[in-house]
Structure 1
């Protein structure tokens, strides 16, 4: 028990050394990620009232609290504590760190370049399809919309029996709350960026 008390005191002592920029940093990151106080409270396990006090610099949080908030904001504690009011949010993933999904036929690849924290409402992919490749997807939640911007080659999109061809430089938006298929019927590889809007139920 004494060891726990000493640990707690150390956390409090360390927290008291934080500058007044911490609250502004937490608030800036929260708003940048479009999170409400309630959202951040739910994701971090820190009470909404405490987060509000931290953002207004009305309390000195423990480092344990800062750690939980930094995890919810997908930032290291060091970066959160080091951030100044005008510091940009920069996060770089190497090619090896970028998850890749492959279609059943092995000819289409989806590199997940979107932020994992937004996967429930926004998904962002780098899509490539070899000649003859087909990506057959089940419907997402009701009202979802997918945006496909072709950077090279030509792709064909089928949604509920309707078929549309998308060429280089063109963007196609379509309902993806039902089965949808993307095909490369050409003899050349195709490359596109795909964005899925899920949570907003934009068509409701």
Structure 2
């Protein structure tokens, strides 16, 4: 009798989860896509890891289908999250997040003198990125071109910086901001005698073109 009761409970719970998936199908696709991008997985890579066809994952992310419970379970396992978390991630959740300094990823320039703390939001990474820049005197950050039409903004909070794009150089001091096309090779240099700090915002093609 106990085994039967447990089976009934599991079936009932599965039905509740499946119903929730159908109700939340619009948010579910966004959640799957956000988690996939957070792990830097392509559709093909997630398909391989989860056993769910690439075309099905694409349809889920575009909210063109209501996935089965088994499909959601496979995706949640591949993304290393509980199925309850996938289904519960709705817009009605309190909108407040906190990241500690230890949890903030840091990028370092080739010369080791410029550090970029990634303070941007993972949900906006395809069209908006922003960083906290700290640099030692003489530090240089060389960057490859971003998407065509992208724009970068550098607001100086301490010290002095210069931006070089194809030999065209502009300098900025505390309180000044440089905005420039970043769809070509460019470099940022800390030119002051002391350390420099700035906020860098990258507005990708999708937000400024077409």
* Separation in structure 1 between the aligned mates of residue 91 and residue 123 of structure 2, nearest angstrom: 23
| Structure 1, unaligned runs of 5 or more | 1-8, 55-59
In structure 1, what is the equivalent of residue 75 of structure 2? Answer: 68
**TM-score with structure 2 setting the length:** 0.65
Which has more helix, going by share of residues? 2
Q: After TM superposition, give the deviation of residue 120 of structure 1 in Å.
A: 4.1
Q: After TM superposition, give the deviation of residue 84 of structure 1 in Å.
A: 6.1
Q: After TM superposition, give the deviation of residue 163 of structure 1 in Å.
A: 1.7
SS in 2 for 1:200: helix
Matched, 1:45 2:45: no
Choose the corresponding residue for 1:139, options 145, 157, 163.
Answer: 145
User: Conserved in 1, the CA contact under 8 Å of 2:24 and 2:90?
Assistant: yes
SS in 1 for 2:164: strand
Matched, 1:14 2:13: yes
* Separation in structure 2 between the aligned mates of residue 99 and residue 106 of structure 1, nearest angstrom: 15
In structure 1, what is the equivalent of residue 107 of structure 2? Answer: 101
**TM-score with structure 1 setting the length:** 0.66
User: Conserved in 2, the CA contact under 8 Å of 1:105 and 1:133?
Assistant: yes
| Structure 2, unaligned runs of 5 or more | 1-7, 35-42, 44-52
Superposed CA RMSD in Å reads 4.2
User: Conserved in 2, the CA contact under 8 Å of 1:146 and 1:195?
Assistant: yes
User: Conserved in 1, the CA contact under 8 Å of 2:144 and 2:186?
Assistant: yes
Deviation digits for residues 21-75 of structure 1 (CA, Å, limit 9, x no counterpart) = 766655357679x99xxxx997981634994565xxxxx9516427737988x97
* Separation in structure 2 between the aligned mates of residue 13 and residue 50 of structure 1, nearest angstrom: 28
SS in 2 for 1:45: helix
Distance 1:143 1:86, change over 3 A: same
User: Conserved in 1, the CA contact under 8 Å of 2:156 and 2:176?
Assistant: yes
Q: After TM superposition, give the deviation of residue 80 of structure 1 in Å.
A: 4.4
User: Conserved in 2, the CA contact under 8 Å of 1:157 and 1:165?
Assistant: yes
Q: After TM superposition, give the deviation of residue 173 of structure 1 in Å.
A: 1.3
